[in-house]
Amino acid sequence: MIAGIDLGTTNSLIGVYESGFPTLLADTDGRRLLPSVVHYGDSILVGHEARRMQAIHPNRTIASVKRLIGRRFGEEGTEGLTGIPGAPVTIPLGGQNLSPEEISSEILKKLKVIAEARHGTEITRAVITVPAYFNDAQRAATRKAGELAGFSVERIVSEPTAAALAYGLDRLQDRSKIAVYDLGGGTFDLSILQLDNGVFQVLSTHGDTRLGGDDLDQAIAALVASKASLPRLSLPDTIRLHEAARLAKETLSTEEQSTIRLPFLEGGMNIEVMLTRAEIEGACSPIIRRTRIHCLRALEDAGIKAADLDQVILVGGSTRMPLVQHLVVEIFGKEPNLSQHPDESVALGAILQGAILDGSLQNVALLDITPLSLGIETFGGLMNVIIPRNTTIPAKAGEMFTNAVAGQSGMRITVLQGERELAADNWKLGGFEIPFAPSPKGAARVGVQFSIDADGILQVLARDTGTGIEKIVEIKSAVEVSDEAVEAMLAGSLEHAFEDMDARIFTEARLKAEEMLPAVEAALAQLAGELPPDEIAGIRHQTAEVTAALQSKETVRLKQTLANLDNATQSLATRLIERAMKIS
Ligand code: AMP
């Protein structure tokens, strides 16, 4: 049996497929949502107990560790942590330095205990969900957390595809298009899926890793502080205020008003503040509106209009807010499907995926996409895409490369991720050297194959077809691919599209010129006696023009002079061929 796990930023859930139904498993108090909070005290506490300790021992308690999983110091999200830039993140907690995987594994261990107690058998296999934009490093770290918790992780699945499965959308008509609007505690994601022959494909995904219910709590806390004219609060009191703001926000999803009472704040203060739904909507609206641009971008990336969508589904606890539901209608011009609990659908989908894998449920498979293009650096510093952005995974693709220089005895394979034309503008994921016997230019044959498995982990294989020597490297990327980073990359590629294209055309023309100039010189030396002097002068003039154009770095000029040189050397080329034929 394979359990399904939603390892969330704010809350986590676990369940199994039982007697033909996906079932979420609750703790002994009947609670299915386990807060993703861990406290390191005399013993390790996880979940509700840890959340209670947060206000008392903030330095021994950690929430939202998912934001740090697979990250390195200096990357997005690691502000406030100290460590050597580029080294994997560790977090000081209760006198020890812990990795995000270790901390996440405590949450997973707790889920395992809950599930085993509830289900009455040992559960050792699991499917774990991650955001669609998680990069290799984040996926690999999530897998490691699962393993540390004692699970064999059978599959890492994207959250939107899991949610769509839970909503039963695999039964929609073929080619149906679905928007998954996921606003949780700490993150926002919008994914566009399409159903193709019973299989979900992610057409595009956009979002913000710093946008969610926590920001709403903060805005509401600020509103309360201003209404009650609160002075600056201590850290424990601030945490209490946020907790009260969160409860009021949740109540106001169904009630019109709610009162926040906080007795015995430090300094003996007691506060009581009445909040109305309209008031919190005023404070939350600017934050929620920030999701709109991501929805529009995802639609644009998928190449569709809102009217083309067959369904809009809501995922994440924050979508219970009426204000969020109104905004969704405004953005997509369509009522969202509210048939599932938004905070449980990802876990339900993970359970269904587990059931598909262990054979209890058949017929559906889940597919995912690459958030950015993957490729290698070619001679001249250009990006050569091997697997384009938004390719459905698992995917495999390859290309044959050769040596650009005679006598070269190896080739450096530099693996890149990104959308820019020049290698240097993309992210370097890794690299290695593949040796081959020194050979004339263009004689070596190195096949490079990229394969991304269903978990989004990339394997790069390079094989010298001459010797059969091959190297395989698994890329567990050190490069952040948060959705902000993906967005910045896309924005950069659009912004620089013109210069990038120009740079690529210039580089290609430069490589051609560098090849052609010595070849023309060699041909002239060989055939000098056979050519009329005015033709030689003409060719010399054109080679000088090409050399000048190369120095000027003007693309159009270089292309034009190369074309002229090509024309001027037509009869030279013919003579060369004729001579070669005579000799042979
Ligand atoms: P999730 O990450 O999906 O578990 O969502 C957690 C977020 O949903 C937290 O910010 C919760 O405060 C928020 N949330 C849960 N229930 C409600 C509700 N009824 N109304 C508004 N927000 C909610």
User: pLDDT tens digit string along 272-319?
Assistant: 999 999 999 999 999 999 999 999 999 999 999 999 999 999 999 999
Spatial CB neighbours of 207, under 8 Å, sequence gap ≥ 6: 131, 133, 182, 187, 188, 189, 190, 294, 483
Instruction: For ligand 1, atom 22, name the residue with the nearest CA.
Output: 318
Task: Check whether residue 128 and residue 222 sit in a common domain.
Answer: no
Instruction: For ligand 1, atom 21, name the residue with the nearest CA.
Output: 250
The CATH code of the domain that includes 11 is 3.30.420.40
Residue 339 is predicted with a pLDDT of 86
Query: Nearest-CA neighbor of 427 among 435, 417, 419, 437?
Result: 417
The reply to whether 12 falls in a domain is: yes
Task: Check whether residue 381 and residue 486 sit in a common domain.
Answer: yes
Task: Check whether residue 2 and residue 82 sit in a common domain.
Answer: yes
The reply to whether 112 falls in a domain is: yes
Does residue 489 have a pLDDT over 90? no
Q: Indicate whether residue 8 lines ligand 1 (CB < 6 A).
A: yes
Which is more confidently placed, 212 or 396?
212
The CA-atom distances, in angstroms, between 150 and each of 97, 126, 364 are 21, 10, 27
Task: Check whether residue 28 and residue 93 sit in a common domain.
Answer: yes
Spatial CB neighbours of 581, under 8 Å, sequence gap ≥ 6: none
Task: Check whether residue 36 and residue 16 sit in a common domain.
Answer: yes
Instruction: For ligand 1, atom 18, name the residue with the nearest CA.
Output: 250
Task: Check whether residue 274 and residue 422 sit in a common domain.
Answer: no
Task: Check whether residue 33 and residue 151 sit in a common domain.
Answer: yes
The reply to whether 383 falls in a domain is: yes
108 pLDDT band, cuts 50/70/90, is very high
Does residue 508 have a pLDDT over 70? yes
Distance between CA 245 and CA 222 in Å, rounded?
A: 9
Residue 569 is predicted with a pLDDT of 85
The reply to whether 578 falls in a domain is: yes
Task: Please give the residue range of the domain that contains residue 57.
Answer: 1-167+344-360
Residue 63 is predicted with a pLDDT of 93
Instruction: For ligand 1, atom 9, name the residue with the nearest CA.
Output: 185
Residue 482 is predicted with a pLDDT of 66
Q: Indicate whether residue 131 lines ligand 1 (CB < 6 A).
A: no
The CATH code of the domain that includes 469 is 2.60.34.10
Only one residue has tokens 């013919």, namely 574
The total number of structural domains that make up the chain: 4
479 pLDDT band, cuts 50/70/90, is very low
Instruction: Give the tokens for residue 347.
Output: 């876990």
Residue ending a domain, choose from 246, 262, 287: 287
Distance 39 CA to ligand 1 centre (A): 21
Say if residues 119 and 351 touch (Cβ distance below 8 Å): no
Distance 184 CA to ligand 1 centre (A): 6
pLDDT in tens, 156-167: 998 999 999 999
Which is more confidently placed, 491 or 73?
73
Q: Indicate whether residue 336 lines ligand 1 (CB < 6 A).
A: no
Instruction: For ligand 1, atom 4, name the residue with the nearest CA.
Output: 11
Exposed / middle / buried, residue 454 (Cβ in 10 Å: 0-12, 13-18, 19+):
middle
Residue 362 is predicted with a pLDDT of 62
Distance 10 CA to ligand 1 centre (A): 9
Residue 110 is predicted with a pLDDT of 98
478 pLDDT band, cuts 50/70/90, is very low
Taking residue 31's Cβ as centre, other Cβ atoms within 10 Å add up to: 13
pLDDT in tens, 353-374: 999 888 877 654 445 677 788 9
Distance 121 CA to ligand 1 centre (A): 31
Residue 368 is predicted with a pLDDT of 66
The CATH code of the domain that includes 223 is 3.90.640.10
Distance 255 CA to ligand 1 centre (A): 15
Does residue 327 have a pLDDT over 90? yes
Mean pLDDT, residues 515-538:
85
Residue ending a domain, choose from 450, 470, 495: 495
Of the residues 101, 154, 159, 545, which is catalytic? Answer: 159
Residue 583 is predicted with a pLDDT of 58
Mean pLDDT, residues 396-422:
85
Candidate from 313, 343, 344, 348 with most ligand 1 atoms within 8 A of CB, to mutate:
343
Q: Which atom of ligand 1 is nearest to the CA of 182?
A: 3
Distance between CA 87 and CA 244 in Å, rounded?
A: 37
The reply to whether 443 falls in a domain is: yes
Strand 21-24 relative to strand 34-35: parallel, antiparallel, unpaired? Answer: unpaired
Which is more confidently placed, 514 or 257?
257
Residue ending a domain, choose from 495, 527, 562: 495
Task: Check whether residue 468 and residue 392 sit in a common domain.
Answer: yes
Task: Check whether residue 277 and residue 349 sit in a common domain.
Answer: no
**Phi, psi dihedral angles at 263 (to 5 degrees):** -85, 160
Cis amide prior to 394 (ω within 30 degrees): yes
Taking residue 426's Cβ as centre, other Cβ atoms within 10 Å add up to: 26
pTM of the complete model beyond 0.75:
no
Which is more confidently placed, 239 or 395?
239
Task: Check whether residue 388 and residue 279 sit in a common domain.
Answer: no
Does residue 580 have a pLDDT over 80? no
The reply to whether 59 falls in a domain is: yes
**Phi, psi dihedral angles at 364 (to 5 degrees):** -120, 145
The reply to whether 330 falls in a domain is: no
